[in-house]
């Protein structure tokens, strides 16, 4: 047996597809007394406790009852080098970038600093239940090296890339069209497909790349069609106006990326708030993914994402924290703010749809739903264990919940890292290790039941 050969017991929830409404119970499996059998970092069985236990009577058991076990959360847009300047007071996007973001990112050329911050970054996202993220690193190759090396050490499935930006940034935070291409290509060759790592081609956004650099990014994308592309789109009205001034020949903001071969099915476009009709048509045609970043959009006053409008066109968005303009590492808090944004839009976010979104849904937009995002046998054993009584407010509300949906909605609106009782990465529990590194006492998982362990 390996250290991950075990059975995890608790209430299980896993989605098979996006729920079509509150009564769409066929979209998910919920087991009141369920069990997962884990082996070599994967789920090998998922079912009722009695059945799974009978098939493996000798395996050790960790009993998380009455907690809820789901696939680990997936964050589709986050900035690794911005963890030190989250919650920085500022105006809107462009002022905030120049005043806080760029000075913080300058430090990531130092490999020792980047490595230290990578350890902090992973402790933070794991403590909030996130087991996979798609991150922008800084322009420095050392930043991406630290990001991927720490993920590899922890056995996590992580995606990311160094940003490419050759203008409108401070000295020391710019590459060139050629060096951005060369450094990104070297990182792809070193990290993409190594273990659980995936490289993402990352021109930061149109304002910080010359046409020559966007052409180089497009060349990389053509050479590596399996690598996703990530950038930013139409977050802020001033940003859009500045982009139009820099690229007057483009029909619109998305047209800048389109002209350089950067709009395709595995393109992730952060924000995508203020879209023109032609841009929406192109997103639908190409299958590119807009990514909703609610806490960031509210913090910077950027605007209100039109989730229902995009879905009506057959476009499936991702959802993400966007730390550090985003104000929380928690995908639960992200869902709470998404609910409020959509309320202002006259749209609804039911808790079943919300929890599908941050698990299977985000895995689907990354093309990884065969590996992560569900509790299906054969998938990777990345799990989050949620305690719906973790705080006094949650406990009071959850005690009156009369359905799974009500319990999920309480977690969605009131939950944060305190509701995360345990996190598993490839079958290995994480919270105890995080607590030891921080010199604190972990609550940890429910104790192994001696009556269940041979």
Inform me whether the pLDDT recorded for 447 exceeds 70.
Answer: no
- Tell me which residue of 275, 336, 325 sits closest to 297, measured CA to CA: 325
Cα distance between residue 252 and residue 63, in whole Å: 54
Cα distance between residue 107 and residue 119, in whole Å: 15
**Looking at per-residue confidence, does 315 or 453 come out higher?**
315
Supply the DSSP string of 346-359, one letter for each residue: T----HHHHHHIII
Give residue-wise pLDDT tens across range 57-67.
Answer: 999 999 999 99
**Looking at per-residue confidence, does 437 or 415 come out higher?**
415
Structural domains in the chain, CATH included, are 6-71+374-438 (2.30.40.10), 73-329 (3.20.20.140)
Give residue-wise pLDDT tens across range 201-241.
Answer: 999 999 999 999 999 999 999 999 999 999 999 999 999 99
Q: Which residue has the tokens 């020559």?
A: 212
Give residue-wise pLDDT tens across range 83-120.
Answer: 988 888 876 667 777 787 888 899 999 999 999 999 99
CA distances from 318 to 63, 77, 288, 358 (A): 32, 9, 10, 8
CA distances from 441 to 120, 125, 383, 438, 444 (A): 17, 18, 21, 9, 9
**CB of 404 closer than 8 Å to CB of 386:** no
Looking at residue 101, its pLDDT comes to 84
Supply the DSSP string of 376-435, one letter for each residue: -TTSB--EEEE-TTSSHHHHHHHHT--SHHHHHHHHHHH-SGGGEEEEEETTEE-HHHHH
Give residue-wise pLDDT tens across range 383-425.
Answer: 999 999 999 999 999 999 999 999 999 999 999 999 999 999 9
Exposure string over 118-135, b if 16+ CB within 10 A, otherwise e:
beebbbbbbbbbbbbbbb
Length of the chain: 454
**CB of 347 closer than 8 Å to CB of 305:** no
**CB of 260 closer than 8 Å to CB of 220:** no
- Tell me which residue of 291, 277, 280 sits closest to 322, measured CA to CA: 291
Adjacent-strand bridge partners of 43: 38
pLDDT mean across residues, the chain: 94
Pairing mode, strands 289-292 and 267-271: parallel
Inform me whether the pLDDT recorded for 453 exceeds 60.
Answer: no
Going through 3-129 in order, the beta strands assigned E by DSSP cover 6-15, 28-39, 42-48, 61-71, 73-79
Average the pLDDT over 245-258 and give the result.
Answer: 98
**Looking at per-residue confidence, does 440 or 139 come out higher?**
139
Looking at residue 442, its pLDDT comes to 46
Q: Which residues fall within 8 angstroms of residue 343, CB to CB, at 6 or more apart?
A: none
**Looking at per-residue confidence, does 387 or 439 come out higher?**
387
CA dihedral 270, 272, 278, 282 (to 10 degrees): 30
């Amino acid at each position: 047996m390996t250290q991950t050969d075990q059975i995890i017991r608790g209430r299980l929830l896993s989605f098979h597809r996006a729920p079509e409404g509150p009564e769409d119970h066929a979209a998910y499996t919920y087991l009141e007394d369920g069990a997962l059998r884990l082996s070599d970092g994967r789920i090998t069985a998922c079912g009722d406790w009695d059945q799974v236990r009978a098939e493996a009577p000798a395996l050790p058991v960790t009993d998380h009852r009455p907690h809820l076990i789901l696939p680990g959360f997936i964050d589709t847009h986050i900035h690794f080098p911005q963890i030190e300047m989250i919650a920085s007071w500022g105006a809107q996007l462009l002022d905030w970038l120049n005043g806080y973001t760029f000075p913080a990112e300058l430090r990531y050329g130092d490999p020792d600093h980047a490595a230290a911050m990578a350890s902090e970054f992973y402790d933070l996202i794991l403590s909030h239940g996130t087991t996979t993220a798609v991150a922008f690193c800084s322009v420095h190759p050392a930043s991406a090296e630290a990001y991927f090396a720490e993920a590899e050490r922890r056995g996590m499935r992580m995606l990311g890339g160094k940003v490419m930006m050759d203008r409108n940034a401070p000295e020391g935070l710019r590459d060139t069209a050629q060096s951005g291409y060369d450094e990104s290509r070297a990182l792809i060759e070193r990290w993409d497909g190594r273990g659980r790592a995936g490289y993402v081609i990352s021109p930061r956004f149109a304002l910080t790349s010359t046409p020559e650099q966007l052409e180089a990014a497009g060349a990389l994308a053509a050479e590596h069609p399996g690598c996703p592309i990530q950038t930013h789109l139409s977050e802020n009205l001033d940003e859009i106006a500045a982009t139009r001034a820099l690229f007057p020949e483009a029909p619109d903001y998305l047209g800048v990326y389109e002209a350089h071969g950067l709009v395709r099915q595995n393109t992730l476009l952060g924000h995508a708030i203020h879209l023109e009709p032609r841009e929406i048509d192109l997103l639908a045609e190409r299958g590119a993914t807009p990514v909703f970043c609610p806490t960031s959009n509210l913090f910077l006053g950027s605007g209100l994402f039109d989730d229902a409008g995009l879905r009506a066109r057959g476009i499936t968005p991702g959802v993400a924290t966007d730390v550090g303009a985003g104000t929380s590492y928690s995908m639960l808090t992200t869902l709470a703010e998404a609910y409020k944004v959509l309320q202002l839009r006259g749209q609804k976010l039911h808790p079943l749809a919300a929890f599908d979104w941050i698990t299977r849904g985000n895995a689907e937009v990354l093309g990884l739903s065969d590996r992560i995002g569900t509790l299906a046998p054969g998938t990777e054993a990345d799990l989050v264990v949620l305690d719906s009584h973790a705080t006094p407010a949650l406990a009071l509300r959850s005690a009156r919940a009369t359905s799974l949906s009500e319990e999920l909605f309480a977690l969605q609106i009131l939950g944060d890292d305190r509701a995360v009782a345990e996190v598993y990465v490839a079958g290995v529990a994480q919270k105890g290790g995080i607590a030891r590194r921080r010199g604190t006492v972990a609550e940890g998982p429910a104790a192994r039941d001696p009556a269940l362990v041979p």
